[in-house]
Structure 1
Amino acid sequence: MATPAPVPLTTADIEIATRAADAFTRIYYAAYDSPSRLAELPKLYRPTSALTWNGTPFQGQDGVVSMVQNMPPTKHDIQSFDCHPIPGTQPPSLLIIVSGSVTHGLGPSGNPAGTSKQNKEGHPRVFSQTFMLVPDAAAPPPIDNR
């Protein structure tokens, strides 16, 4: 028996995916940079979510807490994101690639006195992060605003 071909994406699917990626990116990094990130960031992950940071794997909401609890404060400056809707589900899964710069700590002025200007701590660094957002089958259906 042949596997059915995936349903092609429509222009509306792509527009909705782009708006969703934009909203997700704003919400995610606002939560990440928030003083309450230990409470806020895990809400954006499921118990089955997996992530890898600097080669270290983390699982679920507890893994997110474990990853960020010992990190200094952050400030992300998003320069761009790409969104790729993946056909096969309705709504489609989204592959989102975000790039920009991130400052850990209080910036260069937060470094101890006498710290070399060559020291990278506290200075913005380029980053790239990739997300795969998958529809939640347990989520309530969308509200029809017609």
Structure 2
Amino acid sequence: DIANRGAVNFVRVFYSAYDSEKRVETIPKFYRPTSTFHWNGNLILHDKLLEFLGGLPATKHDIHTYDCHAVPETTPPSLFITVTGNVSHGSADSNARSFNDLPRVFSQAFLLQPEIPPAIGNTADIKYYIVSDTFRFVG
């Protein structure tokens, strides 16, 4: 139940932040300096994350499925989340459509770790950060 609630909240908040105009300000808060981020096979170092995000056109994610599993022998549990869907890059206001504006299928996997252990028995207060993030276009 903790894993499912964590996944629902994370997917909703993360992709909403990613698709917002304030992405450059909000997305880095999900990571720590030791986090890893791979985008289509390329490692994006933490100190280059702002530059990378700022260089991307506007996005719109349409999540099709996600799955979450608690990592065994972790308390509170670390979470492994896989996400699939479509993402469009480019401004919806643009009259000129390009190939980049078309939706592309993607797969993304996250390993989340609890930030600070909550008070004993209070699992509602668990806050997670991204340990590992791997994004890949698959279509």
TM-score range relative to shorter protein: 0.7 to 0.9
Structure number with the higher strand fraction is 2
1:58 aligns with 2:44: yes
Amino acid at match of 1:122: D
Describe the superposition over 1:45-81 as per-residue Cα deviations: whole angstroms up to 9, x where unpaired: 1111111002211233x33212211000001011110
Q: Given that residues 87 and 106 in structure 2 are in contact (C-alpha distance below 8 angstroms), is that contact kept between their aligned partners in structure 1?
A: yes
1:72 aligns with 2:49: no
The unaligned stretches of length 5 or more in structure 2 are 125-139
Partner in structure 2 of residue 44 of structure 1: 30
**More contact order relative to length (CA 8 Å, sep ≥ 6):** 2
Partner in structure 2 of residue 141 of structure 1: 118
Q: Given that residues 100 and 126 in structure 1 are in contact (C-alpha distance below 8 angstroms), is that contact kept between their aligned partners in structure 2?
A: yes
Q: Larger Cα Rg: Structure 1 or Structure 2?
A: 1
Partner in structure 2 of residue 122 of structure 1: 101
TM-score normalised to the size of structure 2?
0.79
Partner in structure 2 of residue 110 of structure 1: 94
Count of residues in Structure 1 that have an aligned counterpart in Structure 2: 122
Q: Tell me by how many angstroms 1:27 deviates.
A: 0.6
SS at match of 2:28: helix
Amino acid at match of 2:49: V
The percentage of aligned residue pairs carrying the same residue is 47
